[in-house]
Amino acid sequence: FPIIAVLGRPNVGKSTVVNRMAGEFKTGAVVEDVPGVTRDRTYRLCEHNGRFFQVVDTGGLLFDDDPQNVFLPQIREQALVAMREASGVVLVVDGQEGVHPIDLEVASFLRRECLDATDGSSPPRVVVAVNKCESVRFGDAQAAEFWRLGLGEPIPVSGIHGGGVAEVLDRLCEEIPEAQPRRMDENGRWILDEPPDDLEAGILNVAIIGRPNVGKSSLLNRFLGSERAIVSEVPGTTRDAVDELLVVTDPRTGDEYGYRLIDTAGIRRKKSISYGTEFFMINRAFKAIRRADVVLLVLDMTQGVYEQDATLAERIADEGRACIIVGNKWDAVEGKDDRAYRAALQKVRERLPMLPWADALLVSAMSGQRVPRILDLVNAAAEQHGRRVRTAVLNEVLMEAIRWQPPPSTRQGKNGKVYYATQVSTRPPTFAMFVNDPKLFGDTYRRFIERRFREGLGFRGTPLRFLWRGRR
């Protein structure tokens, strides 16, 4: 998530402003406070107009508690640390006290670092928030003095009343790209332990995972050996992981598709796997899932679906990855007519209930049957995974669903109300559902909404995330 650093001398009301920013949910609640990397920095996850970011109160770092004992080199150093990672900076000043010499000092530093950056980096947006401007009449007049800081139009705010804070956020958001939150735990809270990996332009990260001997390396060889493929080895992120780049030309259109096959060393290295424990198999697979956009979950159709297959499937869904279920060794299964094919798929689905949205097909890595079709499904799933739906369309589907089946009411006669939905991110598609009280929406109703979203909007091949947010 993009970071917004909040600076200001002591007693300007910085923490009140920070609390306001973090609390500036029109309908939702503060999602989570995440302990910072350093002991005394707290990152608060905030949302404003569909953009997610973290607000860092640099307070304790910039200044000593004693306002008289301000140590300027320290300001500089700490502000620099905060700003190096920030997309936006808010300088909070005191509208009743006027411009303080330290404000000027900090401002000149910010001008140099943020406005006049010449090294081609994209500097953070700086906004001056003039606090303690609660009086509507005097607010602008109070703020006007702060043009002197040379950081653009000062915005009058009131930390205690909340006025002006939305404008500050609006101003910051102009520069902040719509964020893509990646992972959520089972309680629906965001996990921020790793930055989102950037999807290289046009190249899909594909992981081939499955138990030993299901035919992963046979499948890999099929992909890499196909005549239409160009292959090159690229080092993966871990020392012994090797990725392979596969470029496939569609003979019909001449279009080229790029796939980075993840951790192919782990697939090929049979020896270590055969005496490796299940732990290492699972561990390696989990790492590959994390790095993937699309996961191929390979099963052995001569054996059926095992506990471990379900473990892997669950992880794929938890991580929000797109997925294709590939039932391999179909050539070795007796009786392969259409009915047997459908019955076998049905069985697989029953054993993998966590992936109802994933496409599944039965192939033979040995003969190559249906193997090219896998990549078609990968392309389709990746497209859905990164798909964005217009808010108007989304709400049409939502309202239709509610008309069809209104939210249940509690025994106390409280009714669940849905106001509005919006897609806040992709990979996987994530929707914020603004409701009166999330507690009124049980699992059954949530599943119903997801089902209607899928019926109305598709999204085959990708998991969906829903954030249910209540009014405060």
Q: Between residues 25 and 306, which has the closer beta carbon with respect to ligand GDP? A: 306
Helix (H), strand (E) at residue 236: none
By CB under 6 A, tell whether 266 contacts ligand GDP: no
Rounded Cα–Cα distance for residues 463 and 233 (Å): 30
- Asked if 304 is part of the footprint of ligand GDP (rule: CB under 6 A), the reply reads no
Looking at residue 240, what DSSP letter applies? Answer: T
- Determine if 329 is a binding residue for ligand GDP (CB under 6 A): yes
Region label for 319, one of left (φ > 0), alpha (ψ between -120 and 50) or beta (otherwise): alpha
Give the integer Cα–Cα distance in Å for 263 and 177.
31
CA–CA separation, 37 and 191 (whole Å): 14
Q: CB of 189 within 8 A of CB of 154?
A: no
CA distance 463 to 357: 7
Integer Cα distance of 48 and 24 in angstroms: 7
One residue of 35, 212, 225, 442 binding ligand GDP per CB under 6 A: 212
Q: How far is the CB of 217 from ligand GDP (least distance, A)?
A: 3
Q: Which stretch binds ligand GDP (CB under 6 A): 64-72, 82-90, 326-334, 456-464?
A: 326-334
| Coil, helix or strand at residue 282 | helix
Q: Is the peptide bond before 195 cis (omega within 30 degrees of 0)?
A: no
- State yes or no: residue 210 binds ligand GDP (CB under 6 A): yes
Question: If binding is defined by CB under 6 A, does position 217 make contact with ligand GDP?
Answer: yes
CB 181 within 8 A of CB 1: yes
Alpha-carbon separation of residue 264 from 116, 207, 242, 281, 297 (angstroms): 46, 9, 5, 13, 14
- Which listed residue (267, 295, 344, 424) binds ligand GDP by CB under 6 A? 267
Q: Is 332 in the site for ligand GDP (CB under 6 A)?
A: yes
Residue 213 found at the interface with ligand GDP (CB under 6 A): yes
Residues 93-122 that bind ligand GDP (CB under 6 A): none
Q: Residue 435 is encoded by which pair of tokens? A: 């409701």
**Among 316-324, 325-333, 339-347, 388-396, which window interacts with ligand GDP (CB under 6 A)?**
325-333
Closer residue to ligand GDP (CB): 104 or 332: 332
Cβ-based nearer residue to ligand GDP, 123 or 210: 210
Interaction of residue 222 with ligand GDP, rule CB under 6 A: no
Question: Under rule CB under 6 A, which residues in 40-99 are in contact with ligand GDP?
Answer: none
In the block, tokens 């499904």 appear at 377
Smallest distance from ligand GDP to CB 287, Å: 17
Residue nearest to ligand GDP (CB): 215
Residue of 216, 287, 315, 385 that binds ligand GDP (CB under 6 A):
216
Looking at 38-46, 323-331, 348-356, 374-382, which segment touches ligand GDP (CB under 6 A)? 323-331
Binding flag, residue 425, ligand GDP (CB under 6 A): no
Distance CA 263, CA 286 (A): 11
Count of residues that bind ligand GDP according to CB under 6 A: 16
* Residue number with CB closer to ligand GDP (59 or 210): 210
299 near ligand GDP, rule: CB under 6 A: no
Cα distance between residue 432 and residue 425, in whole Å: 9
Residues numbered 352-381 forming contacts with ligand GDP, rule: CB under 6 A:
364-366
Distances (CA, A) of 242 to 260, 261, 279, 285: 10, 9, 20, 14
Q: How far is CA 156 from CA 10, 76, 129, 143, in A?
A: 18, 25, 6, 6
Residue 264 binds ligand GDP (CB under 6 A): no
Choices 112-120, 216-224, 342-350, 391-399 (CB under 6 A): range interacting with ligand GDP:
216-224
Point out which residues bind ligand GDP (CB under 6 A): 210, 212-218, 267, 328-329, 331-332, 364-366
